[in-house]
Amino acid sequence: MTRQALSTLRRLNKLGREWEFRHEGTVCNGFPIIIWFSIDEADPEVGYFHDSINDYELTTLTGSPALWLKVSKKDMDNLLTSAMEAVVQEAKENFNEQD
């Protein structure tokens, strides 16, 4: 394994330990990224009526920070929606497997 590949693997493993979920998507006309995120559970007592993604980090596919990437609000909304839908779908599949 090359030094670069090992470095990439270490970055991705570290991100995987820091974040609860990950989702691959595209922004800015097809640029591939990974969104690493956690989900805040619904808490109607404080005004959160649905689970939501509150904290996240965008990286390239190799795990490098994508702070330089100018993501439009529309792209970000679409990415967060698709990430949440993927989590819900995975939860449904896991639930159905338990039956």
Distance set, CA 45 to CA 10, 38, 42, 49, 51 (Å): 40, 20, 9, 9, 13
Question: What pLDDT is recorded for position 48?
Answer: 62
Question: What pLDDT is recorded for position 66?
Answer: 87
Question: What pLDDT is recorded for position 8?
Answer: 81
Tens digit of each residue's pLDDT (9 = 90 or more) over 9-35: 888 888 888 888 999 999 988 999 999
Tens digit of each residue's pLDDT (9 = 90 or more) over 39-66: 887 777 766 667 778 789 999 998 988 8
Question: What pLDDT is recorded for position 73?
Answer: 92
Q: What is the value of pTM for the model shown?
A: 0.77
Question: What pLDDT is recorded for position 34?
Answer: 93
| 42 and 54 Cβ atoms separated by less than 8 Å | no
Whether residue 1 has pLDDT greater than 90: no
